[in-house]
């Protein structure tokens, strides 16, 4: 089945592949940002994945493409040197006919072509604890393999993406401006944030003092960004590298916990259903540290629980800010949606605080 804008897709494919190579293409995956297509080819060619990168979301496409190219080339060389399979253990960008690893069409739309990883599978939801353990192992391996990559070579494609103090300042500006008159409705939530303001600065202060190292971070560490071997269940590689940037390892860890170890949905209106699953937290810690293979510093390991708390608090702050501003950033299904999301995140933060000692002991157990 061909997609609606066939002409643009076919021109993009012509920029990469010779005439007669493409047999068909179809929409592929369930991503919400980029347009993605599975490309079936004639005998003698592999299958490919074609993507149009969303330039509205990713406005610095030059930096994004540079980041992805640098990281994938580094990983490919490392995999080859270790005797691995570079066609399956990292994303592989297929060059356009002009030698570039991307193609920009006459409308300014940016496209890329990658080798499809055959006999692979990914999962959208954690069906069993083992899934979350393997997810942690996959993102831990990603950290280990990139531990000696100079993170300063990468550009911030989304400035201050995980700078919690700046997210806090944005919330304060939204409260002061209060364009919709909502601030009076959220005093309880604002007090919750204010009580944790000092903690919001902890990680970034440690980065500035050199106590936490700058790392290559993925910044979207969900289960469905890990590819598994369909037969063995082995972790193959991390995909969806558009948000790769310099950052903190504890934030990649923390965002996985925020999303994957929550007993409730991200927008669960009944906060009594929201809690941290210590079982899933332990599964992820075990997998993540196993995958990291000693590449993290002692301080990074000690700060993993704080990474989980800060990412959850920051996400709640972002939802609350967007609610006050009229829900201009996050898509919503109803007027109070972002407020419900914020309350859910803050409930998870509060439960982490209640279980803090257990979280610390679990990290110590596997450290």
Q: Are strands 235-238 and 226-229 parallel, antiparallel or unpaired?
A: antiparallel
The proportion of the chain whose per-residue pLDDT surpasses 70, expressed as a percent, equals 98
Look up residue 218 and give its two tokens: 């993925």
Q: Is there a domain that residue 1 lies in? A: no
pLDDT score for 160: 87
Tell me if 218 sits within 8 A of 225, measured CB to CB: yes
> Tens digits of per-residue pLDDT, 86-106?
999 999 999 999 999 999 999
Same-domain check for residues 81 and 150: no
Same-domain check for residues 344 and 302: yes
User: Of 94, 118, 142, which residue sits at a domain end?
Assistant: 118
| pLDDT (mean) for 58-81 | 94
Q: Give the CA distances from residue 57 to residues 53, 166, 303, 318, 366, in Å, rounded to whole numbers and listed in that order.
A: 9, 20, 31, 17, 38
Q: What is the DSSP letter of 151?
A: G
Q: Is there a domain that residue 155 lies in? A: yes
Tell me if 308 sits within 8 A of 288, measured CB to CB: no
Residue 209: partners with Cβ closer than 8 Å, 6 or more residues away: none
> What confidence tier does 123 reach under pLDDT thresholds 50, 70, 90?
confident
Same-domain check for residues 160 and 220: yes
Question: In the beta sheet, which residues pair with residue 39?
Answer: 25, 48
Which CATH number does the domain housing residue 330 bear?
3.90.1200.10
Which residue, 255, 283, 276, is CA-closest to 349? Answer: 276
Which residue, 38, 170, 167, 176, is CA-closest to 115? Answer: 38
Q: Is there a domain that residue 301 lies in? A: yes
Residue 139 burial (10 A CB sphere; 0-12, 13-18, 19+): buried
6-13: list long-range contacts, CB under 8 Å, 24+ apart: 8/52, 8/105, 8/107, 8/109, 9/37, 9/50, 11/105, 12/50, 12/52, 12/103, 12/105, 12/111, 13/39, 13/50, 13/113
pLDDT score for 82: 94
Same-domain check for residues 331 and 202: yes
Q: What is the DSSP letter of 94?
A: P
Q: Is there a domain that residue 60 lies in? A: yes
Q: Is there a domain that residue 123 lies in? A: no
> Tens digits of per-residue pLDDT, 228-271?
999 998 999 999 999 999 999 999 999 999 999 999 999 999 99
Mean pLDDT of the chain: 94
pLDDT score for 32: 67
Domain count, the chain: 2
pLDDT score for 59: 83
Q: Is there a domain that residue 74 lies in? A: yes
pLDDT score for 188: 98
Residue 111 host element (H or E): strand 110-115
Q: Is there a domain that residue 83 lies in? A: yes
Same-domain check for residues 110 and 26: yes
pLDDT score for 1: 35
Q: Give the CA distances from residue 296 to residues 35, 77, 100, 146, 198, in Å, rounded to whole numbers and listed in that order.
A: 35, 22, 34, 11, 25
Residue 192: partners with Cβ closer than 8 Å, 6 or more residues away: 346, 349, 350
Q: Is there a domain that residue 50 lies in? A: yes
Same-domain check for residues 206 and 108: no
Look up residue 119 and give its two tokens: 């006999």
Same-domain check for residues 27 and 53: yes
The rounded distance, in Å, linking the Cα atoms of 365 and 281 is: 12
Q: What is the DSSP letter of 87?
A: T
Residue 103 host element (H or E): strand 103-104
Q: Which of 182-186, 223-227, 306-310 has the lowest mean pLDDT?
A: 223-227
Same-domain check for residues 255 and 158: yes
User: Of 118, 148, 183, which residue sits at a domain end?
Assistant: 118
> What confidence tier does 124 reach under pLDDT thresholds 50, 70, 90?
confident
> What confidence tier does 57 reach under pLDDT thresholds 50, 70, 90?
confident
Residue 340 host element (H or E): helix 337-354
pLDDT score for 261: 94
Look up residue 54 and give its two tokens: 């969303």
| pLDDT (mean) for 264-293 | 97
Same-domain check for residues 175 and 231: yes
Look up residue 289 and give its two tokens: 């540290």
> Tens digits of per-residue pLDDT, 149-166?
999 999 998 888 899 999
Which CATH number does the domain housing residue 83 bear?
3.30.200.20
Same-domain check for residues 157 and 114: no
> Tens digits of per-residue pLDDT, 317-361?
999 999 999 999 888 999 999 999 999 999 999 999 999 999 999
CA-based radius of gyration for the chain: 21
Same-domain check for residues 351 and 325: yes
For residue 39, how many C-alpha atoms fall within 13 Å in the half-sphere facing its CB? 28
358-363: list long-range contacts, CB under 8 Å, 24+ apart: 358/278, 359/276, 359/278, 359/281, 359/305, 359/308, 360/305, 362/278, 362/281, 362/282, 362/285, 363/285, 363/289, 363/301, 363/302, 363/304, 363/305
Same-domain check for residues 140 and 104: no
Residue 72 has pLDDT above 80, yes or no: yes
Domain that includes residue 256, residue range: 129-366
């Amino acid at each position: 089945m061909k997609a609606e804008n066939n002409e643009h897709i076919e021109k993009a494919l012509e920029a990469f592949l010779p005439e007669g190579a493409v047999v068909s293409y179809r929409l592929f995956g369930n991503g919400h940002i980029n347009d993605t297509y599975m490309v079936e080819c004639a005998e003698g060619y592999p299958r490919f994945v074609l993507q149009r990168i969303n330039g509205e979301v990713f406005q610095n496409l030059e930096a994004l493409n540079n980041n992805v190219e640098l990281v994938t080339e580094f990983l490919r060389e490392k995999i080859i040197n270790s005797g691995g399979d570079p066609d399956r253990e990292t994303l592989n960008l297929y060059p356009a006919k002009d030698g570039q690893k991307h193609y920009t069409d006459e409308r300014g739309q940016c496209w890329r072509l990658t080798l499809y990883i055959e006999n692979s599978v990914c999962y959208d939801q954690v069906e069993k604890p083992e899934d979350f353990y393997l997810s942690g192992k996959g993102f831990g391996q990603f950290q280990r393999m990139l531990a000696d990559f100079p993170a300063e070579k990468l550009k911030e494609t989304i400035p201050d993406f995980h700078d919690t103090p700046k997210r806090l300042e944005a919330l304060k500006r939204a409260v002061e401006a209060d364009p919709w008159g909502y601030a009076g409705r959220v005093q309880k939530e604002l007090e919750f944030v204010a009580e944790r303001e000092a903690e919001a600065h902890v990680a970034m202060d440690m980065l500035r003092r050199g106590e936490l190292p700058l790392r290559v971070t993925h910044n979207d560490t969900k289960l469905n960004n890990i590819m598994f071997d369909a037969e063995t269940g082995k972790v193959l590689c991390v995909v969806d590298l558009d948000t790769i940037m310099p950052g903190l390892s504890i934030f990649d860890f923390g965002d996985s916990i925020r999303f994957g170890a929550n007993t409730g949905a991200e927008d669960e209106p009944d906060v009594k259903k929201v809690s941290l699953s210590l079982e899933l937290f332990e599964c992820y810690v075990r997998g993540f540290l196993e995958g990291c293979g000693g590449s993290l510093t002692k301080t990074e390991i000690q700060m993993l629980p704080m990474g989980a708390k800060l990412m959850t608090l920051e996400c709640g702050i972002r939802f609350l800010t967007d609610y006050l501003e009229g829900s201009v950033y996050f898509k919503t299904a109803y007027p109070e949606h972002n407020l419900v999301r914020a309350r859910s995140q803050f409930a998870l933060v509060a439960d982490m605080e209640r279980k803090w000692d257990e979280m610390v002991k679990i990290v110590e157990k596997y450290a």
